[in-house]
Amino acid sequence: MWWFHRRGPSGFSGASTAEEVTAGVDGRGLVAVITGASSGIGLETVRVLALRGVRVVMAVRNVSAGLAAKEAVLAKIPGAKVDVLEMDLSSMTSVRAFASKFESLNLPLNILINNAGMMTRNCARSCDGLELHFATNHIGHFLLTNLLLDNMKSACRDSGVEGRIVNLTSSGHVMTYPEGICFDKIHDPSGLNDFIAYGQSKLANILHTKELSRILKEEGVNISANAVHPGVIATSLFRNRTIINALLNSIGRIICKTVEQGAATTCYVAMHPHVQAISGKYFANCNLANPSSQASDAELAKKLWQFSLQTVSS
């Protein structure tokens, strides 16, 4: 669409690709963890970061799919440094196991991209008793980030290179409750519909980013945390939504970004020097943007942080 090509202050637009926004960026010596890395924009992010010299650890639920994706990357980029580790974000036990396996690699962590996301038809519960969207899209990433944060702090101190945390979310205007997040429905999802449940989890991603950034700034740590909206992309996210999937497949060329365009904002925020020292912000189309008023609610962000801490500690 024509508005994809309207360049913002960064010099890039919604039509820019991940390769274009990282052209000339040298990622050699950096290590990144990317969740949901075996397909879609996650896999494209792996490919482009590997192309720029970053060593990438793919966190995937399906190891077979992850290994196949790794081989596809290596076929295009011989010599790329890519590892595959299993992680199911809906299970706190699995997230902790991944963090332990990553630490056993004795690698520093410079970039964490919380890319994975899911949408299902039913507001089911995770194995930990949480509403499944919230468990997978928010709590899993919240726990993973906390478990890897000490490594990132050490890496930025030792190298002098800013650590970057990138949380993928939505437009920030997704359907949810008037108060933002209905906490009592996270343990009892009865009464939720799947769109509201998904909306709550995506709102949580932005609020997590804001509070994490505030805490990191308060600590004086050289790590940024930003949220990005990749745009509308016909990926496997909607595989369980037959009608939506059919619509995206039929009119996708008109309204949707390509996967290469969808991964651009993630790669821009994760690697571009123009984003240095920018934290707690929301990006869309490779430029700063404004989320909803709920997503900018500092008190709601603090409430969510405390709730999440209690959840992962219980």
Q: What is the CATH number of the domain that holds 25?
A: 3.40.50.720
- The total domain count for the chain is 1
Query: Is there a catalytic annotation at residue 198?
Result: yes
Cα dihedral across residues 63, 69, 72, 77: positive or negative: negative
Given 177, 198, 268, 282, the catalytic residue:
198
The pTM for the full model equals 0.93
Please identify which residue in the block is written with the tokens 């011989």: 78
Q: Return the SS3 of 69.
A: helix
Kindly write down the DSSP assignment for every residue of 225-264, as one continuous string: EEEEE---B-SGGGTT-HHHHHHHHHHHHHHPBPHHHHTH
- Could you list the pLDDT tens digit for every one of the 314 residues in the chain? 445 678 999 999 999 999 999 999 999 999 999 999 999 999 999 999 999 999 999 999 999 999 999 999 999 999 999 999 999 999 999 999 999 999 999 999 999 999 999 998 878 999 999 999 999 999 999 999 999 999 999 999 999 999 999 999 976 566 677 778 999 999 999 888 888 999 999 999 999 999 999 999 999 999 999 999 999 886 555 455 555 555 545 555 567 899 999 999 999 999 999 999 999 999 999 999 999 889 999 999 999 999 999 999 98
Cα distances from 114 to residues 82, 158, 241, 270, in angstroms, run 17, 23, 23, 11
Total H helices, total E strands in the chain: 12, 8
Q: Which domain range does residue 295 map to?
A: 2-313
For strands 82-86 and 55-60, give the pairing. Answer: parallel
- Provide the 8-state DSSP code for 183: T
Kindly write down the DSSP assignment for every residue of 83-102, as one continuous string: EEEE--TT-HHHHHHHHHHH
